[in-house]
Amino acid sequence: ENKSYHGDRRHDKVPSSDDDIESIENIQQAYDQLVEEFLKQKNRQCAEHKARKNEDEKQELHLNLVKCKVHNCGLEEDIKSMKDKLSFLDSECYGIVECKKSLIKHDKDLHESQELYKRLS
């Protein structure tokens, strides 16, 4: 008799009272809340990570842009100095050409003068 009583008792594990059901619902709610909090935290971490990554990428782009600008300024300076040199050389060349022209003219004048002198003497 005792054995069968214990046997019946063992099978009677399903909560019967309203208190037991309520406590299971509370546990379920607490669990759901934990899961929700965990997911919120993960989402927050993800968002922060993305924001940080975006910030890093922006920073890198900005640095590259600055480098490019500095590099371009350098290039612009080089180009300007090359142009200055070229224009200086051009003016020098122009001067040389003008000198040659006037030398030729002087030469011609001298030659004509000598011819005239020869004829006169």
For the segment 51-83, what is each residue's pLDDT rounded down to a tens digit?
888 888 888 888 887 777 777 677 778 888 888
At residue 10, does pLDDT exceed 70?
no
pLDDT digit string (tens) for 18-51? Answer: 777 788 888 888 888 988 998 899 888 888 888 8
Structural domain boundaries of the chain?
18-90
The reported pLDDT for the residue numbered 6 is: 52
pTM: 0.34
How would DSSP label each residue in the chain? -HHHHHHHHHHTTS--SHHHHHHHHHHHHHHHHHHHHHHHHHHHHHHHHHHHHHHHHHHHHHHHHHHHHHHHHHHHHHHHHHHHHHHHHHHHHHHHHHHHHHHHHHHHHHHHHHHHHHHH-
